[in-house]
Structure 1
Amino acid sequence: MKVRQKLRQAIDSLYAGGQATAEAYTPLVLECVRVNDVGQAKRLQSHMDLHCFTPNDTFLHNRLLHTYARLGKISDARNLFDKMPQRDIISWNTILSVYAKSGSVENLRALFYKMPFRDSVSYNTVIAGLAGSGFSSQALEVFLRMNREGFEPTEYTHVSLLNACSRLLDLRKGKQIHGRICVGVLGRNVFVWNALTDMYAKCGEIDKARWLFDRTDNKNVVSWNSLIAGYLKNGQPKKCIDLFQEMQLGGFKPDDVTVSNVLGAYFQSGLVDEAIEVFNLIKNKDKVSWTTMIVGYVQNGKEEDALNLFAKMLAEGVKPDSFTISSVISSCAKLAYLCNGQVVHGKAILLGVDNDLLVSSALVDMYCKCGITKEAWIVFDMMPSRNVVSWNVMIRGYAQNGQDLEALVLYEKLLQQKLKPDSITFVAVLSACNHAGLIEEGRIYFDSISKRYALVPTLDHYACMINLLGRSGCMTEAIDLVNNMPHEPNSLIWSTLLSVCAIKGDIENGEMAAKRLFELEPLNAGPYIMLSNMYATCGRWEDVASVRSLMKSKNVKKFAAYSWIEIDNEVHKFVAEDATHPQTEIIYEELGRLIKKLQEAGFMPDTKLVLHNVEEEEKFASICYHSEKLALAYGLIKNPHATTPIRIMKNIRVCGDCHMFMKLVSKVIGRPIILRDSNRFHHFVGGSCSCKDYW
């Protein structure tokens, strides 16, 4: 503080003394620069502009220019540079570095080609600036020019060039640069060695990267991170974890980049508990580590844990970015937690990331998966820019919610935007045709995949067509499609065929599909249960017993069917004939009241759908207390007079009796019901369903 006071006194004395020479100003400006008093330096500079300058002023200007560059004051640096009567190579290189560090690529390139003279620093600055801003190809072009003009590259040149090759995954050019390094004097430079290791790892030659790493004289955290990230990217999470442990045994302290990659390795390996242990060891958790954990939870089906962790992240005062927000929104979408999703949407608006392409696409998906396509369309319509992914989400959302024609209209609009549909687009379009029973349109869209857009139809596309053909009564054509596929049919194809056979009562083809699934997925209970149900429907109880005996011998476990409903930001789960809820008694009373009301209107539960050889009374009790019916009763208890829809989620396909039950309840109580099962959304309104009884 005393230094600045003395400096200001000296400046005041200079001003008071009247006109002074440039030599009097120079030491004061330099002192202002030294103590980072940029404001005073600028004022002195303005005074100096009124006087004549000596040749030494270029040195003074360069010092001030360097200070502006260091502090990121781009406009001040540019203004000073424009006013300089004389510029040397230092002046030009300094302003180049300003543009390079700020990412002003166009200004960087324009200034570079405008320079009256250049040196190796000029080239290094431009190459680093271009490579750092993602213009890797242009960085390599500038290097070729540097080479032609005879300038010798430095370690910084090679590091920038290798980083450019890493981004482009250009192994060939990377090897050429490696060859140049080997014949020069920089072959053992630690920064160059790290960049080489990173380049080989990112370009897929992980063994070469390991060879370089093992021969590094001075290993540092950057070296370890490059190889750890390389193993992760090349699908070798175990080696990534082993190297992390080796790093710790060697006495190296992991940084945030290390932890982020290792957490990713644990989650790829399904080692969630180990990932949690590593995460808990981090003392100062940053945005990257929090986001990595949240994404890991989402990828491993732990969406509720992801939401809880996000709440802790906010409580710790860590500011999320668009990637964090989009991951959390995806969790809300998978769980169909509308209230939580709306809260996160509000948070995105406050953070100013709601218009980010990743976030807005996730919001569209979330609202669609919560059954609110109107809100999804509002977000979609307001997006400042859209890519094929955004369009796919909205098209698929319409198809899932029974708005099949809207989905197909939106597909035509996508084509009008001159965007090329991808494989996911056609899955959504064919799904819309499937649910709407548009067999001819489905054939046309399926043929266009290869003939019009030169794409290879995937197994997902074939599954959609098999479903469409089978359900439309063209079973022979569906079987021919399975037999003549260019791919080997997988479990998706056989599951689709089995599902169609179950709906159509085609025992012969159903048995064939089920046996294929027994071979491909011997521990998956689904095919056994579906085939058993087909036998039960026909009264073939001996065959039912045979399938159940086979399940027992193979130790195949049935998965639990359950439904859930969100009330006042709290989720309530139910299983069939559930008696664990604290309000079980009144839930059953409400459900009994509903059943009685429907019976008075002529509805009788379809006990034929109870596929067990038991008494009629037991069948009646079994089918009346399915999990979605219990969830509905609880929703009516908690919100008896509301006009908003009751939203219920179920983890498997809704049965025919529950589907009819929901339709009639929506008519009797005059209130919409939205049920999301494993197949699609069912919007029950006034006694009808959006799926048109086709699910």
Structure 2
Amino acid sequence: MLRFVSHKVTSRVYSTTTRSHVGSTASSWTTVVSALARSGVIDALHAAVELLNDGDKPDDASSALVHLLRVSGNHGYVSLCRQLHGYVVKHGFVSETRLSNSLMRFYKKSDSLEDAHKLFDEMPEPDVISWNSLVSGYVQSGRFKEGLCLFLDLHRSDVVPNEFSFTAVLAACARLKISWLGACIHSKIVKLGMEKGNVVVGNCLIDMYGKCGSMDDAVLVFRHMEEKDTVSWNAIVASCSRNRKLELGLWFFHQMPNPDTVTYNELIDAFVKSEDFNSAFQILSCMPNPNSSSWNTILTGYVNSEQSREATLFFTKMHSYGVRLDEYSLSIVLAAIAALVVVPWGRVIHSCGLKLGLDSRVVVASALIDMYSKCGMLKQAELMFWTMPRKNLIAWNAMIYGYARNGDSTEAIKLFSQLKQERFLKPDGITFLNLLAVCSHCEVPMELTLGYFEMMVNEYGIKPRVEHCCSLIRAMARRGDIWQAKKVIQEFGFGFDGVAWRALLGACSAGKDLKAAKAVAGKIYVYIVMSNLYAYHEIWREVSQIRKIMREKGVEKEVGSSWIQEQNVAIQL
């Protein structure tokens, strides 16, 4: 029996008004489907479930069930949707492609991609909508490689991809910066005649090439487009901005028929990243309707370029200009105040947040925790953390970092244990970086430190970055395990990373271990510095020679292969 429980009634008990609204049995499904299609009223859902439980099948079952799934999914009735899936299987509607697509849409919307993929595999004849639903689901959830692999399967099938297929896969290529695969897909788009006449696909191509650093190709696509909309112009301006082609970006900006806020913000962001704050402010001053985001971009630029004092002065200017301060404005300026360690300013911004009703927002509260921690005011940081109505991982990480920064290993480890008990949160790379930092600076047993490192890799599947490696090196070096630390660098593939060797050399210095320091510097460190220097000047012959010497000396990095090579696929266009 299907059960539908809402805040009103259950599927077996619904009002007399509902029964009269639904009408006689003969016209019941027509009335219910009409109600679902019109407004998705809850009473119609109750009535539909009641009819199904009574064994009354609709004449056009596929259409009725599609409406039921759509409305149930939109209202968040996950359990009912899953029961409807069971009903579909039990009564032999699985072969209905339209119905299966609706189920896939529900699973994708509820972040159950594995269920969506399983359903897709069971479909006898998935159409292009089925393929697009799954490809876009993987891309939108950040699983770009899986989305690309699925698109390659689509290409090998009998189904012809459409514009939605290409927009999803081009977005994946852009995020992964795989320009050669994007170019292959571009060739297919040209063959299908979508490049010039389809504005959406053209815009995605510009964006993909821009994010992959292929500016010439981005400009070429833009110039060949028969029709251009505001998004097209913004895409080419953004591509110029990302690739530091400011003069070209300004030229396109001046050619643009009607620049909007997005266009101005892209230019502001480009000048900020070039640390040309005067030009950024000039663009801001010319904007017809600047928003908070426009101002925040410049404010963020000052903080990211470590110009914290200038950031606070700019924030003051924002306030004097009457700019509407939002949660991001406050969080950014709090980061600047934390770097300056100026408690009075921090208290003023805290008061400002209280006045604006923004102090309980997660981004502001997390920034306050960080600011108070960096100012050595752990009690205030703790008060902010424990009084937050809702805590995300950023807040937990900020508090663990606060304990780490202030050398309180006991509380940091205790808080990490509490985080592990959270049902909807799990530690990330930043969490473990903070935890390992505690271990490297405090008297934490080496067994526990290694346990956290192994937990990060084995239990949470987090690939160690060089920063994690450096913290582990420092922890080992504090206990005299210099050669074990050297082994860690080689085992995790950081043999060509100068940061890791500098950390080890610093640890040798701190431990006054001259013999180990000479071995590290003489056998490895010098080569890495020279290799990086030659690479910077693009003297590749010397880079190759130095790496050959490094291999001969036993500092060998495992040869890697790209994920796309492992798939052993190629698009035949």
Tell whether the structures are fold-level matches, with TM greater than 0.5: yes
Verify: 1:381 aligned to 2:381, yes or no.
no
Q: Deviations over 1:257-297 (max 9, x none)?
A: x67755643443334576678789797967x7797667545
Aligned residue type for 1:380: F
Cα distance in 1 for partners of 2:288, 2:350 equals 16
Cα distance in 2 for partners of 1:164, 1:407 equals 43
Cα distance in 1 for partners of 2:281, 2:377 equals 24
Q: Deviations over 1:445-472 (max 9, x none)?
A: 4532544444225256437636744883
Cα distance in 2 for partners of 1:164, 1:196 equals 12
Among 345, 356, 360, the residue aligned to 2:396? 360
Among 23, 27, 31, the residue aligned to 1:28? 31
Q: Deviations over 1:411-431 (max 9, x none)?
A: 333455474765334544555
Q: Residue in 2 aligned with 1:393? A: 434
Among 209, 217, 227, the residue aligned to 1:208? 217
Q: Residue in 2 aligned with 1:182? A: 190
Say which structure is richer in strand.
1
Among 466, 486, 490, the residue aligned to 1:423? 466
Q: Residue in 1 aligned with 2:385? A: 345
- 1:479 to 1:237, Cα distance in 2 relative to 1, 3 A: farther
Q: 1:146-545 residue pairs with structure 2 within 5 A? A: 146-188=154-196, 189-231=198-240, 233-234=242-243, 236=244, 238=246, 242=250, 246=254, 250-255=257-262, 264-271=269-276, 295-301=300-306, 305=312, 306-307=333-334, 315-316=355-356, 329-338=369-378, 341-346=381-386, 349-353=388-392, 356=393, 358-384=394-420, 385-387=426-428, 389-397=430-438, 399-400=440-441, 403=442, 405-406=443-444, 408=446, 410-417=448-455, 419=457, 422-428=465-471, 431=474, 441=480, 443-445=482-484, 447-456=486-495, 458=498, 461-462=501-502, 465=505, 468-469=508-509, 472=512, 474=514, 481=521, 485-488=526-529
On the 8 A contact 1:72/1:98 being kept in 2, the answer is: no
Cα distance in 2 for partners of 1:46, 1:476 equals 75
TM-score, normalisation: structure 2? 0.66
Verify: 1:42 aligned to 2:45, yes or no.
yes
On the 8 A contact 1:446/1:461 being kept in 2, the answer is: no
Cα distance in 2 for partners of 1:374, 1:265 equals 44
On the 8 A contact 1:395/1:429 being kept in 2, the answer is: yes
| Greater gyration radius | 1
Secondary structure class of the residue paired with 1:153: coil
Q: Deviations over 1:11-36 (max 9, x none)?
A: 969956999342x2244224422441
Q: How many residues align?
A: 463
| CA positional deviation for 1:190 | 0.7
Cα distance in 2 for partners of 1:410, 1:326 equals 28
- 1:379 to 1:446, Cα distance in 2 relative to 1, 3 A: same
Cα distance in 2 for partners of 1:15, 1:474 equals 88
Aligned residue type for 1:458: G
TM-score, normalisation: structure 1? 0.55
| CA positional deviation for 1:110 | 1.3
- 1:244 to 1:465, Cα distance in 2 relative to 1, 3 A: same
On the 8 A contact 2:485/2:504 being kept in 1, the answer is: no
- List runs of 5+ in structure 2 lacking aligned partners: 1-14, 313-332, 335-345, 421-425, 458-462, 532-573
Cα distance in 2 for partners of 1:43, 1:297 equals 56
| CA positional deviation for 1:338 | 3.9
| CA positional deviation for 1:327 | 5.5
**C-alpha RMSD of the superposition:** 4.5
Cα distance in 2 for partners of 1:350, 1:276 equals 37
Q: 1:633-648 residue pairs with structure 2 within 5 A? A: none
Aligned residue type for 1:455: F
On the 8 A contact 1:303/1:331 being kept in 2, the answer is: no
Cα distance in 2 for partners of 1:467, 1:83 equals 64
| CA positional deviation for 1:212 | 1.9
| CA positional deviation for 1:178 | 0.8
- List runs of 5+ in structure 1 lacking aligned partners: 1-10, 491-695
Secondary structure class of the residue paired with 1:485: helix
Identity value in percent:
20
